[in-house]
Amino acid sequence: MKTDTIVLGAGIVGTSVALQLAERGRSVVLVDRRGPGEETSYGNAGLVERASLYPVAFPRKLSALLDVALKRNPAANYHWDALVRLVPWMFAYWRASAPARILDYARHMETLLAFSLAEHDRLARAAGAKHFFREGGWLKLYRTQAGLQNERNEFPLAHSYGLSAREIEVDEALAMEPSLRPVFRSAVIWSDPHSVSSPGGVTQAYAAHFAELGGQVRRGDAGILARLGSGWAVTTDEGSVEAPEVVVALGPWAMDVLRPFGLRLPLQVKRGYHMHYNATGGATLSRPVLDEEGGYVITPMVGGIRLTTGVEFARRDAPKSPVQLEKTEVLARGLFPLGARAEPEPWMGCRPAFPDMLPVLGPAPRQNGMWLAIGHQHLGFTLGPVSGRLLAEMMTGEVPCTDPRPFSAERFG
């Protein structure tokens, strides 16, 4: 089979790329070993995080570093056998987390975040997925004054971009979410972000709309991508597919495909876990809630109340080690009346990340006809549709919605 473009990876990013290209009249085959939205895009906290100008940065204070090193911070965990290989990447991550470079990150990231809500809204309406979405922002809770002060430091930058962050008292937070218990001493409501009740469901709806536009979704192993003359070929369950262009949107598995073609990009993964719970006593939750110092988020999902953990640095394919879930579940039960676990074992996924915390969006170096949409770290669900739009505009010769140069793979040399 011949097509205009092969898109490898049916997470929110790859599905959005495929859909944006199909809207522009391209024939596209979307290839994944699983169904759309069944890997990394299934397991996140479901936020369209419009206000995420500050990244999940590497700790700079010695006290914070010690908390991570001694595994006292429930938001972070690591495997010793992974650290040696990760040291160069983590040093680059530490350097990129310097205050001046954080401001550069915010300036570049805002050019994508500015389109995040509108692009999701447009695709959701076209795909019949609006019922998954809710407004109301998200609530951040603080157990200490120091934690609140760290959040206050973000307010000036947020307000300079017209974003709404408001410090509220415990009573107002409880009025918003009556089922919470007052184990915190302060809170902040960020009003701009939206959230969804099923990130996997949204991705599947976008993929279904892509198919309605004539796109094809096929099962296949992206690892056997091959050069075919001036184009590309991949084998699927329904036979070989050939195209002059290929988009690699494989998230944590991108380098498995890119290394054989000589590409050496500093992409690593941050692992994370989630579990669903039943709520007891008629308890309800209407928006995502972050327990900042507890290191977890609880959010209402189709499958129950989802608890998502922070970051685990480990080999991508190492066995699960959900120690963070065990720690944070205790804290979450003190905050909200969680009932029994609704699943037999924790879900684990990997967030693909570059050390500067920005994604790569654009052509692959030295590989004619290959395009990249990878490395969205904690913002894959937020940025999927706008990343798809930006890449589709570059591929079809349109004027890009924003300057793509900060997201070029060439920044790594």
The single-letter code of the amino acid at 27 is S
Give the model's pLDDT for residue 350: 96
To which H or E segment does residue 296 belong? Answer: strand 296-301
The single-letter code of the amino acid at 15 is T
Question: How buried is residue 162: exposed, middle or buried, by Cβ count under 10 Å (0-12/13-18/19+)?
Answer: exposed
Q: Per-domain residue ranges for the chain?
A: 1-57+97-132+195-266+355-413, 65-86+138-191+268-353
Token pair 């692959």 is found at 364
CA dihedral 330, 335, 341, 347 (to 10 degrees): -80
Q: What token pair was written down for 142?
A: 């603080």
CA dihedral 126, 130, 131, 137 (to 10 degrees): 170
- How far CA 403 is from CA of 45, 221, 261, 368, 393, in Å, comes to 29, 33, 27, 21, 11
Give the model's pLDDT for residue 222: 83
Which homologous superfamily does the CATH classification assign to the domain defined by 1-57+97-132+195-266+355-413? FAD/NAD(P)-binding domain (3.50.50.60)
pTM score of the predicted model? 0.96
Residue 262 phi, psi (nearest 5): 85, 10
Q: In the CATH hierarchy, which top-level class contains the domain 65-86+138-191+268-353?
A: alpha beta
Residues 6+ apart with CB under 8 A from 125: none
Token pair 């879900």 is found at 347
Residue 407 phi, psi (nearest 5): -105, 10
Give the model's pLDDT for residue 262: 95
Give the model's pLDDT for residue 197: 98
CA distance 241 to 29: 8
Residues 6+ apart with CB under 8 A from 2: 241, 242, 243
Q: What token pair was written down for 191?
A: 């009003």
Q: What angle do CA 340, 341, 347 make, to 5 degrees?
A: 170
272: helix, strand or coil = strand
DSSP percent split of the chain into helix, strand, coil, nearest 5? 40, 25, 35
- How far CA 221 is from CA of 267, 269, 320, in Å, comes to 20, 20, 23
**216-219 and 138-142 strand pairing:** unpaired
Give the model's pLDDT for residue 333: 98
In angstroms, what is the C-alpha Rg of the chain? 21
Token pair 């609006």 is found at 130
Tell me how far the alpha carbon of residue 245 is from its chain's centroid. 25
To which H or E segment does residue 174 belong? Answer: helix 170-176
CB of 401 closer than 8 Å to CB of 30: no
* Tens digits of pLDDT across the chain (413 residues): 999 999 999 999 999 999 999 999 999 999 999 999 999 899 999 999 999 999 999 988 899 999 999 999 999 999 999 998 999 999 999 999 999 999 999 999 999 999 999 999 999 999 999 999 999 999 999 999 989 998 999 999 999 999 999 999 999 999 999 999 999 999 999 999 999 999 999 999 999 999 999 999 999 988 889 999 989 999 999 999 999 999 999 999 999 999 999 999 999 999 999 999 999 999 999 999 999 999 999 999 999 999 999 999 999 999 999 999 999 999 999 999 999 999 999 999 999 999 999 999 999 999 999 999 999 999 999 999 999 999 999 999 999 999 999 999 999 98
- How far CA 198 is from CA of 47, 91, 212, 305, 386, in Å, comes to 10, 35, 21, 11, 19
Tell me how far the alpha carbon of residue 161 is from its chain's centroid. 22
